[in-house]
């Protein structure tokens, strides 16, 4: 018997916008919230499972980078693409009050505010990518261009 997948706020927002997607559950490991674990659970290539990182720039405040699970954030590049001189990852304790999401369940869709969002250009190589559906244990399978259009994301590197 197939487990009923609970719709998240992310799914409801996409439904209202008429954007096609799939919700894909996976087994959460609280000690390993890395994208590699998620990709392994989904049976998908790591470079197709994107992570959502929230940063704070010295000039423009909060912004979001969505990048493949096999990449590490380059803070110099992140600062440059967001119009900042420097930036840092948002502190863990600030993530929930700022975005409405917890670590391991942070989606680029449906944050408390629409923050400037930048997605890595390799997303365009795929028919679909995965991003968090807004809770741990649930991924959103979506066409990259639909995600880009919905959140108004910029593509990087520029």
pLDDT for res 1: 44
Structural Rg of the chain based on CA atoms: 15
Q: What are the distances in angstroms from CA 108 to CA 3, 43, 88, 145? A: 25, 22, 18, 14
Per DSSP, the three-state class of 142 is strand
pLDDT for res 31: 80
Per DSSP, the three-state class of 105 is coil
pLDDT in tens, the chain (158 residues): 455 677 899 999 999 999 999 999 998 887 888 888 999 999 999 999 999 999 999 999 999 999 999 999 999 999 999 999 999 999 999 999 999 999 999 999 999 999 999 999 999 999 999 999 999 999 999 999 999 999 999 999 85
pLDDT for res 4: 62
Count the neighbouring beta carbons within 10 Å of the beta carbon of residue 89.
Answer: 15
Cα(57)–Cα(39) distance, integer angstroms: 29
> What tokens were used for 121?
């250009």
């Amino acid at each position: 018997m197939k487990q009923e997948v609970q719709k998240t706020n992310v799914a409801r927002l996409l439904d209202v916008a008429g954007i096609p997607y799939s919700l894909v559950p996976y087994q959460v490991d609280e000690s390993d919230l890395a994208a590699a674990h998620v990709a392994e659970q989904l049976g998908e290539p790591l470079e197709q499972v994107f992570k959502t990182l929230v940063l704070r720039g010295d000039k423009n405040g909060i912004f979001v980078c969505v990048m493949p699970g096999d990449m590490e954030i380059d803070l110099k590049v992140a600062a440059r693409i967001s119009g900042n001189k420097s930036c840092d990852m948002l502190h863990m304790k600030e993530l929930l009050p700022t975005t409405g999401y917890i670590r391991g369940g942070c989606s680029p869709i449906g944050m408390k505010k629409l923050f400037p969002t930048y997605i890595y250009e390799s997303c365009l190589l795929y028919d679909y990518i995965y991003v968090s559906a807004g809770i741990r244990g649930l991924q959103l399978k979506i066409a990259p261009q639909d995600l880009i259009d919905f959140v108004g994301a910029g593509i990087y590197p520029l």
